[in-house]
Chains A and B, each alone.
Chain A
């Protein structure tokens, strides 16, 4: 059984990662999951969070993504992120701005459905902020 597979992280602006990896931790909307080779074909949506990429040759990289989709197949995994960057490159102001916008969305929400959605998104963002920014 092969122990590595092809992983690609793409954002609309560019292709961030395209390499052989041993495992990837993906922040799915229904919970984080670790994808390894020979995973059953799965399609999942992604919440804002951290993607950890464990390269086949050792070494790990962490990326921040803001929502998107993962297309998982036995020999490959493609992550379509709405916006993605390395954890080291994250712009604090940008994150703060997103949180601020999410707060406004919550207060602007017209009906219960959209409010729940906005609140979820805000909660995910604040969790993310705590996870990557040392207090």
Chain B
């Protein structure tokens, strides 16, 4: 049985922890709003980009299409770009993304494919390096970045495209967490290279919407496409990073809310034990005094 002093210290320390988690929750809530705004502000661009890409993909068919769209014709080597948060204390957020990535990697390895990994964010690296240290070829650190800007995503995209052009991989998949709502983030795998399959679907939608307008291209469609596709990859990565940022804050808010509540419950329980024990001690002292007086 802990002494009264121990209990008092315990209660004080839990109270201090509760204050911290409460503060973290409020900070996460404020950051979540900003991250959500950023994600929403970026949405028009990626939507327009998809339409433009769909239009132009319809015009450039078959062999003219750049390799980034059609792929290398093989699927031996896979590149996994795993985007996670830089910080923990956000519940199962990072673990979920890492688990999805791990499942994909295990499956591909079982099929005899070569897998390479790029980790964006420290937490994903920490988790994945336990199992796949030898496969991780690069990691991107965004710890210094407060608000994710397009140039950050562009740098990653350049790296990926550079590797593709060097023939380092055939298929590229992006792992991130899709921000559905504050309490729900869905880990998602998205194929970004080759992009052909996805563009095909979008193309039909766009053609239906526009009645198949015939475009003039300046310079020519091939040249624009060659420029457009790398940019599209950057946009996809940018979107993933923004969704992640919003998701991380959402998850952190929920996690910290739970922590605050747990701390509250713990304080209640400890207080009851403390009061009971104090009462017991008083009773004990009274009995000692009374029996002492009776003995006289």
Min CB distance B56 to A, Å, is: 6
Min CB distance B35 to A, Å, is: 13
Interface residues of B in 10-57 (CB under 8 A from A): 38, 41-42, 44-46, 48-49, 51-52, 55-56
Residues of A within 8 A of B (CB-CB), count: 23
Interface SS of chain A: helix, strand, loop or mixed? strand
Contact with B along A62-81 (1 / 0, CB 8 A): 00000001010100001010
Min CB distance A79 to B, Å, is: 9
**Pairwise interchain contact B218-A80, C-beta atoms closer than 8 A:** no
Pick the residue among B41, B46, B150, B216 that contacts A42 (CB under 8 A).
Answer: B216
Q: What class of interface size applies to chain B in its complex with A?
A: 20 to 34
For residue A80, which residues in chain B have a CB less than 8 angstroms away from its CB? Answer: 45, 48-49, 52
Min CB distance B27 to A, Å, is: 23
**Pairwise interchain contact B56-A12, C-beta atoms closer than 8 A:** no
**Pairwise interchain contact B52-A69, C-beta atoms closer than 8 A:** yes
**Pairwise interchain contact B41-A45, C-beta atoms closer than 8 A:** no
**Pairwise interchain contact B235-A73, C-beta atoms closer than 8 A:** no
**Pairwise interchain contact A12-B45, C-beta atoms closer than 8 A:** yes
Interface residues of B in 43-91 (CB under 8 A from A): 44-46, 48-49, 51-52, 55-56
Min CB distance A108 to B, Å, is: 14
Contact with B along A5-18 (1 / 0, CB 8 A): 00010111111000
For residue A42, which residues in chain B have a CB less than 8 angstroms away from its CB? Answer: 215-218
**Pairwise interchain contact B44-A43, C-beta atoms closer than 8 A:** no
Q: A88 vs B61: C-alpha distance in the bound complex, in angstroms?
A: 42
For residue A43, which residues in chain B have a CB less than 8 angstroms away from its CB? Answer: 52, 55-56, 215-218, 221, 224
For residue A69, which residues in chain B have a CB less than 8 angstroms away from its CB? Answer: 52, 224, 227-228
For residue B218, which residues in chain A have a CB less than 8 angstroms away from its CB? Answer: 28-30, 42-45
Q: A41 vs B221: C-alpha distance in the bound complex, in angstroms?
A: 13
Pick the residue among A8, A11, A44 that contacts B217 (CB under 8 A).
Answer: A44
Min CB distance A131 to B, Å, is: 21
Contact with A along B203-219 (1 / 0, CB 8 A): 00000001001111111
Q: Does A52 contact B (CB under 8 A)?
A: no
17 A-B residue pairings within 8 Å (CB atoms) = A10-B44, A11-B45, A12-B42, A12-B46, A12-B234, A14-B41, A14-B44, A41-B214, A42-B218, A43-B52, A43-B221, A71-B51, A71-B55, A73-B210, A73-B213, A78-B48, A78-B52
Contacts beyond the supplied A13-B42, A41-B213: 16 A-B pairs with Cβ under 8 Å: A11-B45, A12-B42, A12-B238, A13-B38, A14-B41, A14-B44, A15-B41, A41-B216, A43-B52, A43-B56, A44-B218, A45-B219, A69-B224, A71-B51, A71-B52, A73-B210
Which residues of A are at the interface with B, using a C-beta cutoff of 8 A? 8, 10-15, 28-30, 40-45, 69, 71, 73, 78, 80, 82-83
